[in-house]
Chain A
Amino acid sequence: MFTFHGGIHPYDGKDISKDKPIVDYQPKGLMVYPLSQHIGAPAEPVVEIGEHVLVGQLIAKETGFVSSPIYSSVSGTVKAIEPRRIITGDHVKAIVIENDGAYDTVEFTPHPDYTKLSREEIVSLIQKAGIVGMGGAGFPTHVKVSPKEPDKIEYIIANCAECEPYLTSDYRIMIETPEKLVEGLRIELSLFNNARGILAVEDNKPDCIKILKELTKNDDKITVIGLKTKYPQGSERHLIFATTKRAINSSMLPADAGCIVNNVDTICSIYQAVVEGKPLLHRIVTVTGDCVKNPQNFRIPIGTNYHELIDEAGGFIKEPEKIVSGGPMMGFAIFDLDVPATKTSSALLCLSKDQISSAKETACINCGRCVEVCPGRVVPSKLADFAQNGNREMFEKYNGMECCECGCCSYICPAKRYLTQSIKSMRRMILADRKKGGK
């Protein structure tokens, strides 16, 4: 069985939106493009206020190797370059574009036969397209596909697990355009001499497994693997372990285990960047939850306002108590819908009941459920104690830095302790200090 030890089985909520085909949505309102939608240096604007832009026009360029450019996904006029609120609640410098609704597009240069392109040309196309990890982390993809020793890469793993509850965007892609996913994976494979491709799908999606197997039956470089359905099966380190039995710790990179892991939407974007010559302009977002009238999967231009998306999904039928950008395990709770969707926004989840504020935190009874479910194989209850007491030394000694912040311990805790949250805060403090100390 392809899996890892630990993990949980929360209510998956996927039935709400899994059978809703992807609908193209064309926004009407203001578009907002935060300059930092990725890990690394923020992009730098190359347009001026008042300038007219087209769909696919570069509006902010990268400022280093670990950085990523941003393109306009609508045509219209640059209205402002100013700090705007993003999903985390921070204000980040952003380009605001008034959408003229015409969707006038720049001309793209397609490369129907990517095999004629050199390795450098493909990597450059990926970089220029502004592709980043669209599963949530937002790590620039061109950096991922440029490891120090390319010949040591043995596996390129397409992360088709979609283990996060409620999310169905990857599922819809696999059902509707699986050939783009497979072709995208082949393009990535062409960059490496010794790599094999793995399409890793959770076994609660047998239809996807069947489709992908059918598409790759004559390709001996690509295998489809059915993973045990369990959260966090799509966590990078645990996915690598499940598929290759290689385990990396928090201070190692997937490349150290000869692996590169990419999300479904990311790989499809690679296909579009290389074959169709299109930069990253759209992404698939699941709008779901018990408050939404018509839960759906949308293909939206990046920069679309969340308010518009809710309206397009029929608005609310119940008053939401909590709205999460992303899934319920890893997503951000937002306090204002007036924020833009970015390259990493996978879902908008609207819940009528917030299970967190209604649960009261009580004393730890040492039940060990957190130890049972922890995919990092640490002892969350003790780490949270150390974190709350500010005991950094013991926190590190008890492998606190190996936590992947998946949230399983907080989910399962019968005393409703804020385990993940405490551990996460301590980890952030330690990481910030290490950065300061230059270690």
Chain B
Amino acid sequence: MDKKLKVSSNPHVRDGMSTRGIMLAVIIALMPATIFGVINFGYHALLVILVSVGFSVLSEFVMCKILKKPVSVGDCSAIVTGLLLALNLPASFPLWMTALGACFAIVVVKMLFGGLGQNFMNPALGARCFLVISFAKYMTNFTTDVYTGPTPLAIVKAGGEVNIFDMVIGRTAGTIGETSMIAIVLGACFLIALGIIDLKIPGSYIVSFVIFILLFSKRGFDLNYICAQLAGGGLMLGAFFMATDYVTRPITKKGQYVFGILLGILTGVFRIFGPGAEGVSFAIILGNLLVPLIEKITLPKAFGKGGENSL
């Protein structure tokens, strides 16, 4: 033996999954919704996506340099943030505003709080809310060459009927990535199959949301309305891809159910009682802020202290 042996404290083996691997899987899972968005809305949607991803990665790189931290773009988390932000923007959104939003997501929401793992709210959603407040007119302009009418959610809020089939496929007005329920669920199934996300948060979110609108929408059991609420707006994208964001959801299992139910209720409140038709991003952001509290009250009991039987 010529080389010296390596020593370290046990355990001496590691699982193959890495942070980068998880991020790459999320990017792959977002591809159906992304590709559908580009096909549905045309080339400007593609530009928005490229600008958003590009500026996310660039601003993370620059911030790492300024803060003299090791460059962390290799973990691909900035790509996920940029992609999620773009999928939450209208296809006709101006590119300079997109770039500004991407920089806000990375610089303000993520890097100023300490980078990956330290942000207290989902960077993409934080930036989306920043853009809604700053450029409300552009953020709610869903008119493109293809679609001119209001979004399906706005139609049902006004009491109208919508074509559910079109909504499931995604042939409606809306943000780039939110319209196609089928594309989003396809990507989510991929993540569930890989064990990267599970149904604790999306399941409790969607179920509690349905119960809430059944109770408070004053529509009774109106199937068209319920399906429109489920397939419309950012619910599917939010429930499967943003409420499940590791960093900003509770780490405890019980806490994840609490978080999901809370999001369902908040989304219901915003959609039914709020001024706008949409409420998913605000619900998730508000939920993000309550995560430390939720974790504190749902701390698991240890094995041998009553926690041995709990899942």
Structural contact, A365 and B117, CB atoms closer than 8 A: yes
- One of A41-49, A57-65, A140-148, A248-256 contacting the partner: A248-256
> What's the A-B contact tally at a CB cutoff of 8 Å?
176
B137 at the interface (CB under 8 A from A): no
Whether the pair B15, A319 counts as a contact (CB closer than 8 A) is: no
Neighbour of B247 across the interface among A8, A335, A366, CB < 8 A = A366
- Would you give the 0/1 interface string for A312-328, flagging 1 where the beta carbon is closer than 8 Å to chain B? 00001001111110001
List CB contacts (< 8 Å) of A407-433 with chain B.
407, 410-416, 418, 420-421, 424
Other A-B contacts than A376-B303, A414-B17, 16 sampled, CB-CB below 8 A, are A5-B308, A247-B304, A247-B309, A316-B1, A320-B1, A321-B3, A321-B5, A334-B5, A335-B7, A366-B249, A368-B253, A375-B303, A382-B251, A416-B18, A420-B11, A424-B9
Bound Cα distance from A204 to B79, whole angstroms:
42
Q: Could you say which residues of chain B place their CB within 8 Å of the CB of A364?
A: 117
**Across chains A and B, which 3 residue pairs bring their CB atoms closest together, nearest first?**
A249-B304, A407-B11, A402-B302
Please tell me if the beta carbons of B299 and A319 are within 8 angstroms of each other in the complex: no
Which secondary structure characterizes the binding site on chain A? loop
A199 within 8 A of partner (CB): no
A406 to chain B, nearest CB (A): 8
Scoring A residues 370 to 407 as 1 if CB is less than 8 Å from chain B, else 0, what string do you get?
A: 01100111110110000000000000001100101001
A329 within 8 A of B: yes
Determine how close the nearest CB of chain A comes to the CB of B251; give it in whole angstroms.
5
CB pair B12 A328 closer than 8 Å = yes
Q: A377-B300, A411-B15 are in contact. Are A4 and B308 (CB under 8 A)?
A: yes
A319-B1 in contact (CB<8A): yes
Chain B residues engaging chain A, CB cutoff 8 angstroms: 1-15, 17-19, 21-22, 72, 75, 77, 115-118, 246-249, 251-253, 299-305, 307-311
Q: A377, B6: Cβ atoms under 8 Å?
A: no
A417 and B189 CA atoms in complex are apart in Å by: 28
Q: Provide the residues of chain B in CB contact with A414, threshold 8 Å.
A: 15, 17-19, 21-22
- Residues in A whose Cβ lies below 8 Å from that of B303: 4, 237-238, 241, 247, 249, 375-377, 402, 404
Which chain A residues lie closer than 8 Å to B14 at the CB level?
355-356, 359, 410-411, 413, 416
A177 within 8 A of B: no
Q: What are 21 contact pairs spanning A and B, CB under 8 A?
A: A8-B15, A10-B15, A238-B303, A241-B303, A247-B308, A250-B304, A323-B5, A330-B10, A351-B12, A355-B14, A363-B19, A365-B246, A368-B246, A375-B303, A377-B303, A398-B299, A411-B14, A411-B15, A415-B18, A416-B18, A421-B8
CA distance A340 to B172 in the complex (A): 74
Within 8 Å by CB of A328, from B2, B4, B11, B17, lies B11
| A362 to B20 Cα, complex, angstroms | 10
What distance in Å separates the Cβ of B80 from its nearest Cβ neighbour in chain A?
Answer: 11
**Within the assembled complex, what's the spacing in Å between the Cα atoms of A399 and B306?**
12
B308 near A241 with CB under 8 A, answer yes
Chain A residues with CB below 8 A from B72, complex form = 362-363
Q: Which of A11, A365, A415 interacts with B13 by CB under 8 Å?
A: A11
Contacting residues, chain B, for A368 (C-beta < 8 A): 246, 251, 253
A324 proximity list for chain B (CB < 8 A): 10, 12
Instruction: Indicate if the CB atoms of A411 and B11 lie closer than 8 Å.
Output: yes
B4 near A355: Cβ-Cβ < 8 Å: no
Chain B proximity of A271: nearest CB distance (Å): 31
CB pair A331 B12 closer than 8 Å? yes
Q: Does A218 contact B (CB under 8 A)?
A: no
Instruction: Determine whether the beta carbon of A237 is less than 8 Å from that of B299.
Output: no
In the complex, are the beta carbons of B12 and A322 less than 8 A apart?
A: yes
A420 to B115, CA, bound (A): 24
List, in ascending order, chain B residues with CB within 8 A of A241's CB: 303, 308
Query: Which A residues have a C-beta under 8 Å from some C-beta of B?
Result: 4-5, 8, 10-11, 89, 165, 237-238, 241, 247-250, 252, 316, 319-324, 328-337, 351, 354-357, 359, 362-368, 371-372, 375-379, 381-382, 398-399, 402, 404, 407, 410-416, 418, 420-421, 424
**In the complex, which of the residues A359, A366, A379 contacts B300, with contact meaning CB atoms closer than 8 Å?**
A379
A418: chain B residues at CB < 8 Å are 9
B304 CB contact (under 8 Å) in A237, A362, A398, A424: A237
Q: Which residues of the partner chain A approach B12 to less than 8 Å between Cβ atoms?
A: 322, 324, 328-329, 331, 333, 351, 354-356
- Cβ of A413: which chain B residues have Cβ within 8 Å of it? 14-15
Residues on the B chain within 8 Å of A404, using CB: 303
Cβ contact within 8 Å between A379 and B7: no
CB neighbours of B17 from chain A (8 A):
412, 414
A372 to B9, CA, bound (A): 22
Min CB distance, A317 to chain B, in Å?
13
For A356, what are the chain B residues with a Cβ–Cβ distance below 8 Å? 6, 8, 12, 14
Tell me, in angstroms, the Cα distance from A378 to B307 when the chains sit together: 9
From B2, B8, B10, B310, give the contact of A319 (CB < 8 A): B2
- What are the residues of chain B within 8 A of A5 when measuring CB–CB? 308-311
Instruction: Say yes or no: B15 contacts A357, CB within 8 Å.
Output: no
Would A365 and B10 count as touching, CB distance under 8 A?
A: no
* Closest residue of B by beta carbon distance from A240: B304
State the Cβ distance, B41 to closest chain A Cβ, in Å. 31
Instruction: Quote the shortest CB–CB distance from A136 to chain B (angstroms).
Output: 11
Q: B302, A378: Cβ atoms under 8 Å?
A: yes
By the criterion CB–CB under 8 Å, are A377 and B307 in contact?
yes
